[in-house]
């Protein structure tokens, strides 16, 4: 082989090697085309709830439960409860928008400032704390806005159905006096609700009563009440462990007040029946002192026809 042929062969090998290198570089430079499909898990009218929406909300709930010291139920239990709550919330938000209920940014900012203050933080520090916990601030703002809208919706729906006469107020005060209920006492309660359909059959009623009784029995046997609430409660506060916080006796349903009046902190109520369904309560604590009955005030809501 001549010197010229050897030089040509070496140059050809160099071109092949260079081509391989450039080919690899070009492949690496191409944007990744792999896209994971975001599966739709529910459709509420024209709005969809995706798997990523559900996953993000489940992670938030699990972080909240972990911070509160609640034993976390199996993930599939939380996912089912979260999905049901998301479906209800979406439907209610759609109705709220249709009926003109809105929460502007000023009201939202004021609410977040109060939340931060209740946690002993400035808004900036509170935002930083959320980010450290993996909760995007924008998502938190919209969650608070949603809660405010739904709260206003529930208040309006309740108020529109209430008509209180003077005689009913007199009867209420007399009943409070007969029952010895102290309206100035506050109760710290947790709550589990097993809902009953509006036109439930006897079999449905029996099944839901039995479910509530089983939940109560498990609480009496020592299972964590908050974990049971996360797993079984169909109330809005279920995913927060059923914690209702401190409530004035005068602002609680009479059914609840009578049920917890004789309980000691830590005790569980009997299964209670209301139009909404079956309830189980846990009394954490009580505080407050008696006030004269004459000092009681009753808010009146009248609907004009």
Residue 178 confidence (pLDDT): 43
Residue 158 confidence (pLDDT): 60
The pair of three-digit structure tokens given for residue 195, joined into one six-digit string:
């809902």
Domain spans of the chain? 40-160, 170-294
173-207 pLDDT tens trace? 455 544 555 557 889 999 999 988 777 888 989 99
Q: Where are the beta strands (DSSP E) in the chain?
A: 40-44, 47-50, 186-195, 243-248, 272-274, 277-287
Residue 25 confidence (pLDDT): 42
**Sorting pLDDT into bands at 50, 70 and 90, what band is 68?**
confident
More confident residue, 236 or 36: 236
Rounded distance, CA 140 to CA 146, Å? Answer: 10
Q: Is 162 a residue whose pLDDT tops 80?
A: no
Residue 68 CB neighbour total at 10 angstroms: 11
Question: 41 in the Ramachandran plot: left (φ > 0), alpha (ψ -120 to 50) or beta?
Answer: alpha
The pair of three-digit structure tokens given for residue 82, joined into one six-digit string:
């979260």
230-245 pLDDT tens trace? 888 888 778 888 888 8
Rounded distance, CA 235 to CA 269, Å? Answer: 17
Rounded distance, CA 150 to CA 156, Å? Answer: 10
Average pLDDT, the chain: 77
Residue 167 confidence (pLDDT): 56
Rounded distance, CA 181 to CA 256, Å? Answer: 12
Question: What ranges in 180-283 are assigned the alpha helix state H?
Answer: 202-220, 225-232, 254-261
Residue 19 confidence (pLDDT): 44
Residue of 186, 189, 190 lying closest to 286 (CA atoms): 186
- Residue 42 contacts residue 49 (beta carbons within 8 Å): yes
Residue bearing tokens 């407050």: 288
Phi, psi for residue 43 in degrees, rounded to 5 = -125, 125
Class of domain 40-160: mainly alpha
What CATH number is given for 170-294 in this structure?
Answer: 3.10.50.40
Residue 189 confidence (pLDDT): 93
More confident residue, 180 or 283: 283
Rounded distance, CA 103 to CA 207, Å? Answer: 39
**Sorting pLDDT into bands at 50, 70 and 90, what band is 109?**
very high
- Residue 259 contacts residue 154 (beta carbons within 8 Å): no
- pTM equals 0.55
Residue 1 confidence (pLDDT): 56
The pair of three-digit structure tokens given for residue 205, joined into one six-digit string:
């009623």
As a whole number, mean pLDDT of residues 276-300 equals 68
């Amino acid at each position: 082989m001549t010197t010229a042929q050897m030089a040509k062969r070496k140059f050809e090998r160099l071109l092949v090697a260079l081509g391989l290198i450039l080919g690899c570089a070009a492949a690496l430079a191409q944007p990744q085309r792999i896209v994971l499909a975001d599966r739709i898990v529910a459709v509420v009218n024209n709005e969809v709830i995706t798997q990523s929406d559900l996953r993000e909300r489940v992670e938030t709930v699990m972080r909240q439960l972990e911070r509160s010291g609640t034993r976390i139920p199996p993930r599939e239990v939380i996912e089912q409860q979260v999905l049901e709550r998301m479906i209800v919330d979406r439907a209610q938000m759609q109705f709220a928008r249709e009926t003109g209920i809105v929460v502007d940014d000023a009201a939202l900012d004021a609410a977040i400032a109060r939340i931060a203050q209740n946690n002993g933080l400035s808004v900036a520090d509170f935002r930083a704390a959320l980010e450290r916990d993996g909760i995007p601030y924008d998502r938190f703002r919209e969650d608070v806005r949603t809660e405010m809208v739904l709260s206003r919706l529930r208040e309006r729906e309740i108020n529109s159905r209430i008509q209180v006469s003077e005689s009913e107020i007199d009867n209420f005060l007399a009943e409070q006096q007969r029952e010895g209920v102290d309206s100035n006492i506050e109760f710290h309660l947790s709550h589990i609700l097993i809902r009953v359909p509006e036109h439930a059959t006897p079999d449905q009623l029996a099944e839901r009563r039995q479910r509530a009784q089983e939940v109560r029995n498990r609480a009496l046997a020592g299972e964590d009440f908050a974990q049971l609430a996360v797993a079984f409660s169909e109330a809005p506060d279920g995913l927060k462990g059923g914690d209702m916080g401190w409530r004035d006796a005068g602002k609680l349903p009479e059914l609840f007040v009578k049920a917890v009046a004789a309980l000691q902190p830590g005790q569980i109520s009997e299964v209670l029946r209301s139009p909404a369904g079956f309830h189980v309560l846990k009394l954490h604590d009580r505080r407050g002192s008696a006030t004269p009955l004459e000092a009681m005030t009753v808010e009146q809501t009248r609907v004009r026809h």
